[in-house]
Structure 1
């Protein structure tokens, strides 16, 4: 192959191309992602140092959009792709349990790329839909049955330990009698395979001089933590519903 073709490949013309095809595009937190990476050789033989896959979270903070690489997966060792050659590399990766759910406008995508020395690195992006872990879904349902409506899904960037710069936050508004004593309820999760830790921030309403003073000093929030396991709901949701309702009413006073 001519030096001219190699020069063109170095700037991305006639370079290798990559295309990732997922078995599905909808997953639960902690779910298994299966797919194949199709690599099409370009006009010249090229050595690929690395085939990588990034899990990227898109979020907004302080008025700006940010992209955060949550996980990086290396899918292959060094290999050579010949001119017009096609390689298919299957893969299985585990979606982290703390991947944010995409409901509420939090895009999540997989970015696949080839690391080729002395050339423009080709890449491919594939958006995915992330649904709540089954235990998270159960807790969210229990909170709604306790008299709340989900109004927003965002991120908390301070006060809660996380291996990432943020933790996802579910904001609820009271719909029944609790409207007289609560402004809102914020719920966050640390998710594991068979259990999760629930953090509820109960924001009390100013109803008298004391609670008005607490609100002015930002002392009106009550933080409650509790765990939920698969065993807790094996026989139904009644005990979990009772526990959540009692915690909310106790700290609403």
Structure 2
């Protein structure tokens, strides 16, 4: 009787531990492990065993946590005193998530729902790696001497924004390069912004925008991708240095004005009327978030509460950057 009372308070109750085979996984890959369930001092009835994948966005020392997915594992079973159960775990990571960065983290929270007692919990951090196409893009930037900034990976209204700074070739000429990466069927579409130092304006930076499309076979050639990026950055630098630019029409004559980011839907059924991701309201601007901007309306639902918090918290608002693409008002090449 006394043991039953204590177990209801969580003393001598059943325990659960999620053991992952690896703590990191790429978007779209399967993460595997097993649950170790150990009975307590008395027999207990388990209503259900489930896992939550939780996203934590940090801004200026504050953490904003949201549930990405709830994964049911088992329901309605009994655990005897001292009994040990092992249940398998596997989960294919959704393709619409932001990848792990300094301000973006993920946790599996396991919950053992115990009838007439305190539930048992377990937490396991996981690291979401970029898809291979994005990783190769990062490698190409590294070959040009660019290094990722600590603030890179912040979540904006248009996706996950990555930022790099030069360490050799463009040092003293380029302040930083920022981009969104839209994952499409044939390749990756880059929305690139190059912040160029403008000596004629007293070393103030000028922000030039470009749109690039890199096919997957091109990205396999990291050297070739680095050359393409180098050419785009050099073009931005040359555009700033040209004296023919005029305020309000800052784009090179041989290139068309930039088209703002759009959302790619991989399947026709995702084209729902009323879901347009342009400059038609903050929530309407949120696309998918795999590697920055993989399409999916789930991302809008996922981060809706987080973005709403931005209205009430200026720190989070600064991080989420819910204004125009790359803050707007920039030059275009």
Give the TM-score of the pair, scaled to structure 1.
Answer: 0.77
Distance 1:152 1:192, change over 3 A: farther
- The 1-side partners of 2:59 and 2:125 are apart by 21
Counterpart for residue 92 of structure 1: 90
- Match of residue 217, structure 2, among 222, 231, 235: 231
* Residue of structure 1 equivalent to 2:3: 5
Alignment of 1:162-181 (within 5 A): 167=160, 169-181=161-173
**Preserved CA contact (<8 Å) 1:45 1:81:** yes
Partner residue in 1 for 2:227: 242
Deviations 1:80-129 (A, max 9, x none): 22333322110211123435235x57543322111224322111122334
Q: Given that residues 51 and 109 in structure 2 are in contact (C-alpha distance below 8 angstroms), is that contact kept between their aligned partners in structure 1?
A: yes
Equivalent residue number for residue 164 of structure 1: none
Partner of 1:6, secondary structure, is helix
Name whichever structure is richer in strand by fraction: 1
Q: Who is 1:128 aligned against?
A: 126
Unmatched 5+ stretches in structure 1: 162-166
- Which residue in the other structure is 1:47 paired with? 45
Task: State the alpha-carbon separation in 2 of the partners of residues 222 and 80 from structure 1.
Answer: 63
188-197 or 109-118, larger mean C-alpha shift: 188-197
* Alpha-carbon shift at residue 228 of structure 1 (Å): 4.0
Distance 1:39 1:99, change over 3 A: farther
The two structures, once aligned, show a CA RMSD in angstroms of: 3.0
**Cα separation, 2, equivalents of 1:197 and 1:71:** 27
**Length, aligned pairs only:** 237
Give the TM-score of the pair, scaled to structure 2.
0.61
Q: How does 1:2-151 map to 2 (within 5 A)?
A: 2=1, 4-97=2-95, 98-101=97-100, 104=102, 107-151=105-149
